[in-house]
Amino acid sequence: MTAKLDYRWHLRQVMARREMFSTTDLLGPLSERGIRLSSSQVYRLVVERPERLSLKVLVALLDILGCTMEELIEPVEATKPAEKAKAAGGDTGVGALRPKRARISAVEP
Protein backbone atom coordinates (compact mmCIF):
# COMPACT_ATOMS: atom_id res chain seq x y z
CA MET A 1 0.00 0.00 0.00
CA THR A 2 1.34 3.44 -0.86
CA ALA A 3 1.76 6.07 1.82
CA LYS A 4 -0.55 9.07 1.86
CA LEU A 5 1.38 12.25 1.22
CA ASP A 6 1.08 15.71 2.64
CA TYR A 7 3.38 18.73 2.49
CA ARG A 8 4.96 21.47 4.56
CA TRP A 9 4.96 25.02 3.22
CA HIS A 10 8.19 26.96 3.94
CA LEU A 11 7.49 30.33 2.29
CA ARG A 12 7.95 32.32 5.49
CA GLN A 13 11.32 30.67 6.26
CA VAL A 14 12.59 31.13 2.69
CA MET A 15 11.56 34.79 2.79
CA ALA A 16 13.39 35.29 6.11
CA ARG A 17 16.59 33.82 4.65
CA ARG A 18 16.30 36.45 1.88
CA GLU A 19 15.77 39.15 4.55
CA MET A 20 12.14 39.65 3.55
CA PHE A 21 10.30 39.94 6.87
CA SER A 22 7.07 41.61 5.78
CA THR A 23 4.40 39.96 3.67
CA THR A 24 4.06 43.19 1.70
CA ASP A 25 7.66 42.70 0.49
CA LEU A 26 6.18 40.30 -2.08
CA LEU A 27 3.53 42.66 -3.47
CA GLY A 28 5.84 44.67 -5.77
CA PRO A 29 7.84 41.72 -7.15
CA LEU A 30 4.64 39.74 -7.78
CA SER A 31 3.08 42.75 -9.52
CA GLU A 32 6.18 43.12 -11.74
CA ARG A 33 5.58 39.54 -12.90
CA GLY A 34 1.92 40.16 -13.72
CA ILE A 35 0.53 38.59 -10.54
CA ARG A 36 -2.05 40.85 -8.91
CA LEU A 37 -2.84 39.77 -5.34
CA SER A 38 -4.26 41.85 -2.50
CA SER A 39 -2.19 42.33 0.63
CA SER A 40 -4.54 39.99 2.53
CA GLN A 41 -4.10 37.29 -0.13
CA VAL A 42 -0.31 37.58 0.10
CA TYR A 43 -0.55 37.49 3.91
CA ARG A 44 -2.54 34.23 3.78
CA LEU A 45 -0.09 32.81 1.24
CA VAL A 46 2.83 33.49 3.59
CA VAL A 47 1.22 32.68 6.94
CA GLU A 48 -1.04 29.76 6.04
CA ARG A 49 -0.46 26.60 4.07
CA PRO A 50 -2.19 27.00 0.70
CA GLU A 51 -4.49 24.19 -0.43
CA ARG A 52 -4.63 25.49 -4.01
CA LEU A 53 -1.94 27.51 -5.71
CA SER A 54 -1.69 28.78 -9.25
CA LEU A 55 1.38 27.53 -11.07
CA LYS A 56 2.02 31.09 -12.23
CA VAL A 57 2.13 32.27 -8.61
CA LEU A 58 4.39 29.35 -7.66
CA VAL A 59 6.82 30.04 -10.50
CA ALA A 60 6.82 33.76 -9.64
CA LEU A 61 7.64 32.97 -6.00
CA LEU A 62 10.49 30.67 -7.05
CA ASP A 63 11.86 33.44 -9.30
CA ILE A 64 11.47 36.22 -6.72
CA LEU A 65 13.09 34.22 -3.93
CA GLY A 66 15.71 32.53 -6.10
CA CYS A 67 14.89 29.18 -4.58
CA THR A 68 13.95 25.70 -5.73
CA MET A 69 10.67 23.89 -5.31
CA GLU A 70 12.29 21.60 -2.71
CA GLU A 71 13.11 24.60 -0.50
CA LEU A 72 9.56 25.91 -0.67
CA ILE A 73 7.51 22.69 -0.53
CA GLU A 74 8.56 19.69 1.55
CA PRO A 75 6.66 16.44 0.90
CA VAL A 76 5.92 14.50 4.09
CA GLU A 77 3.93 11.42 5.02
CA ALA A 78 0.40 12.29 6.09
CA THR A 79 -0.39 11.83 9.75
CA LYS A 80 -3.37 9.77 10.78
CA PRO A 81 -6.29 11.73 12.23
CA ALA A 82 -6.59 11.50 16.01
CA GLU A 83 -9.10 8.97 17.29
CA LYS A 84 -12.19 10.30 18.98
CA ALA A 85 -12.06 10.04 22.76
CA LYS A 86 -14.58 7.64 24.23
CA ALA A 87 -16.89 8.62 27.05
CA ALA A 88 -16.33 7.17 30.52
CA GLY A 89 -18.21 3.93 30.96
CA GLY A 90 -17.86 2.75 27.39
CA ASP A 91 -18.90 3.91 23.99
CA THR A 92 -22.65 3.65 24.49
CA GLY A 93 -23.09 7.40 24.17
CA VAL A 94 -26.09 8.95 25.91
CA GLY A 95 -28.24 5.88 25.37
CA ALA A 96 -31.39 6.02 27.50
CA LEU A 97 -30.63 9.58 28.58
CA ARG A 98 -31.78 10.89 25.22
CA PRO A 99 -34.95 13.00 25.53
CA LYS A 100 -38.09 11.67 23.91
CA ARG A 101 -39.45 13.51 20.93
CA ALA A 102 -42.48 15.68 21.69
CA ARG A 103 -45.69 14.66 19.96
CA ILE A 104 -48.25 17.30 19.18
CA SER A 105 -51.79 16.19 18.81
CA ALA A 106 -54.82 18.17 17.83
CA VAL A 107 -57.09 19.24 20.70
CA GLU A 108 -60.75 18.59 20.06
CA PRO A 109 -63.22 21.29 21.24
d(CA 26, CA 46): 9
- The predicted pLDDT at position 104 comes to 81
pLDDT tops 60 at residue 89? no
pLDDT tops 70 at residue 96? no
- Computed over every residue of the chain, the mean pLDDT equals 86
Residue type for 25, please? D
Residue type for 6, please? D
- The predicted pLDDT at position 3 comes to 75
Domain membership of residue 94 (yes or no) is no
Domain membership of residue 105 (yes or no) is no
Q: What is the mean pLDDT of residues 64-69?
A: 96
Domain membership of residue 106 (yes or no) is no
Supply the range of the domain harboring residue 67. 5-77
- The predicted pLDDT at position 85 comes to 60
Among the listed residues 29, 21, 71, the one whose alpha carbon sits nearest the alpha carbon of residue 47: 21
Domain membership of residue 67 (yes or no) is yes
Q: Which domain CATH number covers 26?
A: 1.10.260
State the total domains in the chain: 1
- The predicted pLDDT at position 100 comes to 73
Domain membership of residue 18 (yes or no) is yes
Cα angle: 47, vertex 49, 55; to 5 degrees? 110
Percentage of residues in the chain having pLDDT higher than 70: 80
Domain membership of residue 58 (yes or no) is yes
Q: What is the mean pLDDT of residues 25-53?
A: 95
